[in-house]
Structure 1
Amino acid sequence: MAADTLLEVANLGKAFGHLTVLKNVSFNLSRGERVALIGPSGSGKSTCLRAINYLEPPTEGDIRLEGQSIGRRPNGQRMTDREMAPQRAEIGMVFQHFHLWPHLSVRENVALQPRKVRGMSRSDAEMLAGDLLGKVHLAHKAEEMPQRLSGGQQQRVAIARALAQQPKLLLFDEPTSALDPELVGEVLTVIKELAAEGRAMVLVTHEIAFAREVADRILFMDGGQIVEEGPAKSVLDQPQSPRLKQFLASLQLGGPDE
């Protein structure tokens, strides 16, 4: 493993019964690097992302964070959820839907993770939560209940909650797909700001212009495989594979991308 390599995904495969959704997916992520996964619906992007922290245990392959195998003991057997908990604490994930606790305030939602995962005191966790809510431009909403927030605001709280774990890697699974169009920009702005801080992240997104702006590299997936990869601007401006050319043309013509 190179000194600056954070994440290694090697020969990843996933099958649901007779349906194979990931085939021999391999890529590395360096510290501070941003990689975007793009592709049509059903191409395996979200499954790949969820396999990285074993929300979807892969059928085959190996995933390593800082050289340590995720989800597998040295003998190859799968870890229990309890054994995996310290590993998952190093990987913050933001989902399509927000999954905030409706009975807790915004501040309490964010403070819960560092208390449970990092063992912080309530006062320290709530102080951290306040700082992170400021980072996502929601310090003024700290005492609100989630149901009083817009979808965009709830997603920004979810981002603050992921940051509260103090993870080494951030995963974003279509973070704007559940939002009304006018709310998308506020979430993308926050992600851009996090990217500018040099945070390592893997993003599954259908926002192609956003991926072009934020990602260092793009992986184009189709049929459960990586069809093309490379620097973001090169992949999108000068696609090499016929399938990626077809995909990008469909977006320009207003066709469905997801």
Structure 2
Amino acid sequence: MLKDISFTLKRGETLALIGPSGSGKSTCLRCINFLEQPNGGDIWLEDELIGRVRNGARERVMSDKELAPQRREIGMVFQLFYLWPHLTVRDNVALASIKAGGLTRSQAYELAEQMLGKVHMLHKADQYPEKLSGGQQQRVAIARALAQRPKLILFDEPTSALDPELVGEVLGVIKELADEGRSMILVTHEIRFARDVADRVIFMEGGLIVEEGPAQDVINRPAQERTRAFLGQVHADGGIAA
């Protein structure tokens, strides 16, 4: 449960959410694109209110049909890949552009191939997901999110389901996207990666924001005792290197 949290993401900024399991990080992401309906507060994407229609003092929650265009502007990459096993890599990435994005098949395929190239997976375009490693499948999932041409991309622990030797290839793609200046929010337990790639870090616990600031400051010089304790444990487990 989130408890009256509030933050702002600047255009082109990468924000990392860190904290112990159950602290509300993933719930926060799911509220942003209304996969979970918050019971209070507002979520804005630029000047657009997400998930609700407001008319004076009256307000109602959007239907799934009304929400669909907003959700296309907020790409999401999950822990699991959710690729269609009966579709090729190219078709997995192109499908939403054809069904909901208004593109022709040839336009959608061209866009899919551009996005697969961006995540270094174009050479696997004709393969099926079962032939791919977990890291490759996650890169295809990132390409699928990019094909929505979203204003914001949410990453919900995108490496947690991967074997350790596959983590680096996915983090490398995310770093490239951050270097491009894409607007991104990343939930991660990869603390060193958060420190080196994110512009800002938020440490959460118990549904609250405990500490927020520039990534280097929060991770290298945390101001709050609870943040120091958490990072000290991560450091003891080998999660942060100099």
Normalization by structure 1: what TM-score? 0.90
CA change 1:215–1:126 in 2 (3 A) is: same
Instruction: Decide whether the 8 Å contact of 1:45 with 1:204 is kept in 2.
Output: yes
CA change 1:58–1:255 in 2 (3 A) is: farther
* Counterpart Cα distance in 1 of 2:145 and 2:238: 33
* Counterpart Cα distance in 1 of 2:132 and 2:59: 44
* Counterpart Cα distance in 1 of 2:41 and 2:65: 21
* Counterpart Cα distance in 1 of 2:101 and 2:164: 36
Of 46, 55, 59, 1:76 maps to 59
Q: Which residue of 2 aligns with 1:189?
A: 172
* Counterpart Cα distance in 2 of 1:198 and 1:171: 14
- What is the CA deviation profile of residues 198-241 of structure 1, one whole-angstrom value per residue up to 9, with x for unaligned ones? 00000000000000111100000001000000000011111011
Larger displacement relative to structure 2 (184-193 or 67-76): 67-76
- What is the CA deviation profile of residues 127-160 of structure 1, one whole-angstrom value per residue up to 9, with x for unaligned ones? 1111111111111100000011000000000000
Number of residue pairs matched?
Answer: 237
Q: Does 1:174 align with 2:182?
A: no
Asked which structure has the greater RCO (Cα within 8 Å, sep 6+), the reply is: 2
Q: Which residue of 1 aligns with 2:104?
A: 121
* Counterpart Cα distance in 2 of 1:214 and 1:49: 19
Task: For residue 253 of structure 1, report the CA deviation from its aligned partner.
Answer: 1.3
Instruction: Decide whether the 8 Å contact of 2:192 with 2:239 is kept in 1.
Output: no
Gaps of 5+ in 1: 1-20
Query: What percent of counterpart residues are identical?
Result: 66
Task: For residue 76 of structure 1, report the CA deviation from its aligned partner.
Answer: 2.0
Match of 2:216, as an amino acid? K
Q: Secondary structure of 2:172's match?
A: helix
- What is the CA deviation profile of residues 155-196 of structure 1, one whole-angstrom value per residue up to 9, with x for unaligned ones? 000000000000000000000000000000000000000111
CA change 1:255–1:43 in 2 (3 A) is: farther
Q: Secondary structure of 2:160's match?
A: coil
Q: Which residue of 2 aligns with 1:159?
A: 142
Larger displacement relative to structure 2 (73-82 or 167-176): 73-82
Task: For residue 254 of structure 1, report the CA deviation from its aligned partner.
Answer: 1.3
* Counterpart Cα distance in 2 of 1:79 and 1:234: 39
Q: Secondary structure of 1:230's match?
A: strand
Q: Secondary structure of 1:24's match?
A: coil
Higher share in strand: 1
Instruction: Decide whether the 8 Å contact of 1:117 with 1:165 is kept in 2.
Output: no
* Counterpart Cα distance in 1 of 2:196 and 2:33: 26
Normalization by structure 2: what TM-score? 0.96
Match of 1:28, as an amino acid? T
Gaps of 5+ in 2: none
Q: Which residue of 1 aligns with 2:27?
A: 47
**What RMSD in Å do the two structures reach over aligned CA positions?**
1.2
Q: Which residue of 1 aligns with 2:236?
A: 253
Q: Does 1:209 align with 2:195?
A: no
CA change 1:255–1:181 in 2 (3 A) is: closer
